[in-house]
Amino acid sequence: MTRVFSGMQPSGDPHLGNLLGAIALWVAEATHAESLFCVVDLHSITFPQDPRDLRARTLDLTATFLAMGLDPERSILFLQSQVPAHRELAWLLECTASYGELQRMTQFKDKSSRGEFVSAGLFTYPTLMAADILAYDADQVPVGDDQRQHIELTRDLALRFNARYGETFVVPTGVYRTSGARIMDLQHPERKMSKSLDSPQGTILLSDDDAAIARKVKRAVTDADTDVRYDPEAKPGVSNLLSLLAACTDSTPESAAAGFERYGDLKAAVAEAVVEFVRPVRSRRAELLDDPTHLLTILADGAVRADAIAAPIVRRAEDAMGFLLRRGI
Ligand code: TRP
């Protein structure tokens, strides 16, 4: 069976781009693969964190996965920090990666030029990500296009390790989303909806109430002429609204365009569809967050199952490298 590993950072209030892009797709695919869903909390400390915030966001993302329909019995939902393999393997891979190749990571270059404090962890981030994936013998890793370089590095590290120390790791394949919705910012439809862009009016959050959602959709920028058709190049604003409508109603942007004469009607339909889509997810998430003990129990179960897969793979890598394994393992 194909094993799929997905990771997402608990970086704050999930937005519609996350839900309709990554999460919806992962959950849909979890029915026909052996899937691991990892909340990569260790990746979230490359910049200083407020501990209360990290705790809240971690629970929040866990609840969001479940609210989106992830079945924690079929799939393994867990926290990266609760399974030691990630940290253990990261060091072995830090010593497999070169300084130069980590320096060439565009995400590192971007982020290190922004912050005044550049942690060593920001630099080694990609080796921790490689550890996440290689610790499970994952075949496929669904990620956004921005993660391509990290996946290529993971493959290079697996191949290099295997060449140096003998066949140890499965070389994974990145699965870059071509289907699934690519939701753009409502105010700046030329860029992806994102929390980090500081565009509150262009970003629909899972925590937005119905009125806020409707307001944001109605104020979305449209395009110069007045016809409603799907053409992301010429009509980015309207096309984004059609993508939203399609994603929320399970159709395609092209067919979602049928029957609309005016932007006003389209916006009203989009607002209603998004509100209907978000409402049950939001309320289910709120219910789940009301019972953190239940969430922690699901995560503990996930961690035990993840650990059972990953620990022997890390021992295999240690053994291949020449570490003496503790007797009894
Ligand atoms: N770096 C990924 C991102 O920012 C998150 C991530 C960490 C990840 N570890 C992973 C994704 C392992 C897939 C597999 O989106």
Q: Is 198 a residue whose pLDDT tops 90?
A: no
Give me the amino acid identity at 123: F
Around Cβ 261, how many Cβ atoms within 10 Å?
10
Q: Let me know the angle formed at the C-alpha of 286 by 285 and 289, rounded to the nearest 5 degrees.
A: 85
Q: Is 116 a residue whose pLDDT tops 90?
A: no
Task: State percent of the chain over pLDDT 70.
Answer: 98
| pLDDT tens digits, 61-109 | 999 999 999 999 999 999 999 999 999 999 999 999 999 999 999 999 9
Q: Is 25 a residue whose pLDDT tops 90?
A: no
Pocket test for ligand 1, best of 147, 170, 194 (most atoms within 8 A of CB): 147
| Separation between Cα atoms, residue 201 and residue 30, nearest integer Å | 32
Q: Is 181 a residue whose pLDDT tops 70?
A: no
Pocket test for ligand 1, best of 6, 9, 105, 140 (most atoms within 8 A of CB): 9
Nearest CA to ligand 1 atom 3: 8
| pLDDT tens digits, 267-306 | 999 999 999 999 999 999 999 999 999 999 999 999 999 9
Atom of ligand 1 nearest to the CA of 144: 15
Q: What is the mean pLDDT of the chain?
A: 94
| pLDDT tens digits, 226-274 | 889 999 999 999 999 999 999 999 899 999 999 898 999 999 999 999 9
Predicted TM-score (pTM) of the model is: 0.93
Query: How far are the Cα atoms of 62, 170, 285 from residue 148, in angstroms, in the given order?
Result: 25, 18, 31
Q: Residue 99 has what pLDDT?
A: 98
> What average pLDDT does range 193-217 have in this prediction?
90
Q: Residue 179 has what pLDDT?
A: 58
